[in-house]
Structure 1
């Protein structure tokens, strides 16, 4: 018990020490403070434990200076060495170390480009680009992860192998053979799913099946996680123990444990060492080694030791969503088997694991999959006891015969059908908003840990405070980053509406933002004009969010893409908006476009003027000079904020229009590093000469306007600097 507390003190200290580098929000800061209290409480009256706790908090601050962000772009002409390569089907990603350069370089190789392997030396000539940062709150941030793992650049340009082009070591050959075995034989559809379930290659799994797993709360089956490692370990240990007993061997259980140890790390190696699988393998290795030498093990100690080792090896794991899922689930299951019941029922285990996953799901995605306990209870036994062990066995015997692997692929196809049926029956996860995650965490902690009344009040009060702090403002306007597109969210007093949906390929950003804000219904969606970068996300949006009305301005020549898209979405009410409408505290004036059929589609955009007391905002869609002159002739009143027409193109935001609107702040909705150069330099000069401040989603990411008595307050994900 003493060692358990010491190890947990060390784990708390490491999380606190490294956590300050990643934590910016109030939720993360509160969790670190609670962990600090928990660490001190666990180690009180234990000098060794307190000493370990303090060292683990202080050491990361001294050992890890803040990473320096590189320039956005850098030309390169250098020789580089391939350090490692991750294989994902016909694509791969190599990590390079270049001469006289700080940091590592990431090189992605596609279907038709050369594939490089560890040990090769290659020549690069092109451009290095810094990893792209998250553009909306709560999104995955590859720039931060890249810097912490040493990968400071991605390469675009020409490559050429200098030496070692034809040589691959045994390890690389084994990885490729393992993957190629799933590309042969029949039952191709089932083999695609097997790639995801056995190797974690989610990209190989058909999109419809990925959505089915996500809807049932079993998305972890498409990643090599602790479930896969545990299933393989148990299968090998049980089978070899049974054989050893039948053969009357000495210590059959210990020999089986040794074989299971080899099998576990073989799978981790072949799956290219994902974080959650490595953590599980480390825990199982400690347990198996203890069994081999006859020591007694404690599961909570194993969890703590695995956490310490994983964080020491790579602190960035703390912000890895998969690691958070895996660790919190394992910790919860460990607590319920040691603190609550030594033999919990299957439904208790499923509910506990699902509740632990809900904490992470709610914070990162804003949803709760309430069907997860039932779906996990049905799907996980089939996957862990049947598909994973038999699939791995089928791969190893594939040089002799493809029939075993085809049989497992057939079972996998039936499994996919079952998952799809459950997804159709239960529907999509419930959107609740990320601010409910602290409450879910508080319920989980109070249920699993035997706290006294004071600690119960402390945890509950802290999490309620975080929930109230993280809850979105009751009235605001968000300019959501949707790539080279446009989408503006209006929220007031519980009502929400959307102006444009962005393009089809970046709608996931919009859906993620709406879910994290807790928005599951839109009073209306207004499409300013019929260009795909403004309406392309409507189809996917309507499948996830309930939309009461869709407003647009019919022109009679909207185009086949618009007509086809609308025809595939059932139950949508399409009509022309009223000249004036309200949304909570917002008053919205719709300024209809010209009926001149000779005008461009951009100049037939609906413009909107949104007001609340002393705050006003003008949205102009893609209006260009013709449409802006028409608004000036109509006598539009000034507005505090202007969303630049056509994403900041030089054909929009003419001087006469800027003089009429007279904005204090201008916002450009455009994509990062877009090929058009938006916002255009001429527009920037006009705004500067008018004394207008400029924010753009390409530079600042997500932008929020909050109306106050004195006018708008503007927030953004990043400063202009």
Structure 2
């Protein structure tokens, strides 16, 4: 067990390694430790084995990524479509398993998985073979302190590149059996109210769920139920095991082959996992079932914790990169909490009535949900920035409903669908979800944001512990430990009253700058908006939530989408007290030269423009100097050279420690005279990679670097923040300073445009 412990610790820390050692060094170290095994702990040897496994997994991932990378040219690739699609939902993001590049057949260690942006009128179906001309790129993502992390997402799902399709032609139109079944089921359920949930539960495909659905599931604490997860794979196992256990004796009268129900349970679980496309969560569930089944068949008596540890080790050895997935931490966190519960589970009476059995079941279910809520609080806090106060209520109702009625009906529907006899079953499954769907509509009040300072959070923990005590789970030391941990992680509200910060978010081509002091913030530009979302929703709101900060004001430099696209979303959801812009808008305060105001002891001075516009463009960018009297930041929007020259002729004090580079580093801005006049110590450019504009321009970067000005670029450095106080100031980047991990360095090395 000590050896396994060392393996687990080594692999589970992979996410935080600063660099990846060479496999040769790891093997040499392991051989030396084995030779000295009499003098070395088994934990250390296990850690060396774990390092070898983790290093090997990373080496394979990087090799596949290197095989895929042809960033500057269009590449012809051939392979198989790995995503499910219907004619109705079309396709934009397609998982493509590549086995041929430019006519060369790849080896098993070179075949890679790409996520392609693909728009075509031709039907794309899972299982089809296509030849595609695409521009492939490294699996990089925007790196901010909060919000969706694409890079860890790609790692956890073994996606080795991303890109866009230029042209494509189908090589083999034959679709997979899973796609055929999906199409048939979709036709049967498309008209049902809960069709999107039935598809998610049957196939693990959640593309039909809207953002509103996800918010309701999050607020109610039921997100784990609305996709094929470990719980559902376990139910499929139980279904196959139970049916076989009762049917098999009717066929075979002898007490032989008692292992067959166990095997049939695993077969049922594998079939259900196949329906989900063998997603990572289902793979982990299958691995867990296999380990538990082997332990049971071996006759070995293992405690809940020993079983948990064996399953954890097996999953990590099978897929070390799974530690980059939130579902990994949440699923094993939940199982660990249940293991703790199992230690204190009372023994069932030898004789009890039906009513007593039902009462014991209800009590056990309530205790389990309380344990999960308290045990999962730190993880929920970390990953989602809050906790559902109604999760206990919704799970007590939903878990039995979905586990005992909905999922069995779905399994039956999947079995009957090929025979054309499943219509009534799907209707019954739809009816079973109706009560839950009605309750989800009122779930929003149950979500509590816990990242910011809140006296409510520790109170909630205490109340949950009290509920555990009431129902008989009298483990006061554990409850006290959880409460202590929660209070310890609760943010300290004491702050340095002189400290303030300016964050330039990694938003691609666009701009979003947050000025924050003592839990209050002003936003300068919102980043872009598109048909399916906004930067404000995906980046700015999560950051504010994580910090527990309140948005007081919004400043829009000008009206272009990449700067002001999220205005409507911000004003509706973040509700700033005021909005300033250089446009004629009755709802906005003016942002004109000469305007000054104080906010949180910071001085805001508007240097440009001179007049308001009906539609403010680059030349009307609102230029603001923010200062605490000792340090200053200059915000410039997309200010062109002509307007820069105007500021210089006015003898304005535009000097600043930090300059937000005008117009993303375009050659139409950042004149030498302007840079000299501002004389910044650091320059921050908000840029995106591989954009049509190829910004920043190399000449502009050279102008800054030749003057010894520290250059930051969000497209490669991620979110950049400047921190100020009466003790001094500094600039840090998310990729290189806050998260200086091996995968950030792998996907963050700048590739300058020459």
Q: Is the counterpart of residue 200 in structure 1 residue 204 in structure 2?
A: yes
Pairwise CA distance, 1:640: 1.6
Tell whether the 8 Å contact from 2:526 to 2:536 is kept in structure 1 after alignment.
yes
Alpha carbons 2:136, 2:163 under 8 Å: kept: yes
Counterpart in the other structure of 1:131: 139
Q: Is the 8 A contact 1:503 1:537 kept in 2?
A: yes
Q: Deviations over 1:576-623 (max 9, x none)?
A: 479333333432223452226598533333222111242110112233
**Structure 2 vs 1, CA of residues 462 and 177 (structure 1 numbering), >3 Å: closer, same or farther?**
closer
| Alignment root-mean-square deviation, CA | 4.4
The verdict on how the C-alpha distance between 1:674 and 1:550 changes in structure 2, with shifts beyond 3 A counting, is: farther
Quote the residue 2:638 is aligned against. Answer: 622
Q: 1:248 to 1:18 in 2, by over 3 A?
A: closer
Q: Does 1:584 align with 2:600?
A: yes
- Identify the residue that residue 619 of structure 2 maps to in structure 1: 603
Q: What CA deviation, in whole Å up to 9, does each residue of 1:239-289 have, x standing for no partner?
A: 665667999977799765443332111101111122223323333344456
Q: Aligned partners of 2:646 and 2:426: how far apart in 1?
A: 68
Q: Which residue of 1 aligns with 2:27?
A: none
- Tell me which residue corresponds to 2:564: 535
Q: 1:258 to 1:24 in 2, by over 3 A?
A: closer
Shift of 1:487: 1.2
Q: In structure 2, how many angstroms separate the alpha carbons of the residues matched to 1:679 and 1:292?
A: 63
Is contact 2:146-2:546 (8 Å) kept?
Answer: no
Say if 1:268 and 1:278, in contact at 8 Å, map to a contact too: yes
Indicate the residue corresponding to 1:59 in structure 2: 49
* 2:266 paired residue number: 261
* Map of 1:652 onto structure 2: 669
For 1:180 and 1:270, how far apart are their aligned partners in 2?
Answer: 13
Q: Distance in 2 between matches of 1:175 and 1:87?
A: 6
Number of the residue aligned with 1:325: 330
Q: Show CA shifts across 1:644-692 (max 9, x none).
A: 2233333333344333322222211232322222223443344345443
| Range with bigger deviation, 595-604 or 502-511 | 595-604
Give the alignment partner of residue 16 of structure 1, picking from 9, 12, 19: 9
Asked if residue 359 in structure 1 is aligned to residue 409 in structure 2, the reply is: no
Say whether 1:420 aligns with 2:445.
no
Structure 1: distance between partners of 2:295 and 2:186: 35
C-alpha separation in 1, matches of 2:666 and 2:197? 45
1:552 is matched with which residue?
580
Counterpart position of 1:694: 711
Unaligned runs of 5+ in 2: 19-36, 348-359, 737-748
Q: Partner residue of 1:525? A: 554
Q: For 1:608, what is the secondary structure of its paired residue?
A: strand
Corresponding residue SS for 2:732: strand
Cα distance, 1:317 vs structure 2: 0.8
Instruction: Report if the CA contact (8 A) 2:596-2:606 is conserved.
Output: yes
Q: 1:493 corresponds to which residue?
A: 518
The residue that corresponds to 1:94 in the other structure is 96
CA distance in 2, matches of 1:677, 1:590: 30
Tell me the matched-pair count: 667
Counterpart of 1:421 in 2: which secondary structure? coil
DSSP 3-state at the match of 1:154:
strand
Within the alignment, does 1:73 sit opposite 2:71 as a pair?
A: yes
Offset at residue 18 of structure 1 (A): 1.8
Q: For residues 21 and 289 of structure 1, what CA distance do their matches in structure 2 show? A: 28
Q: Quote the offset at 1:489 in angstroms.
A: 1.2
Alignment of 1:272-311 (within 5 A): 272-287=277-292, 298-311=303-316
Q: Contact between 1:431 and 1:518, CA under 8 Å: does it hold in 2?
A: no
Q: Which residue number in structure 1 is paired with residue 364 of structure 2?
A: 345
User: 729, 732, 741: which is aligned to 1:715?
Assistant: 732
- Residues of 2 paired with 1:458 and 1:305: CA distance? 25
Please state whether the residue corresponding to 2:670 is helix, strand or coil. Answer: coil
> Would you say 1:508 and 2:506 are equivalent positions?
no
- TM-score w.r.t. the length of structure 2 is 0.76
3-state SS, counterpart of residue 526 of structure 1: strand
3-state secondary structure, aligned to 1:631: helix
Change over 3 Å in CA distance of 1:211–1:451 after alignment to 2:
closer
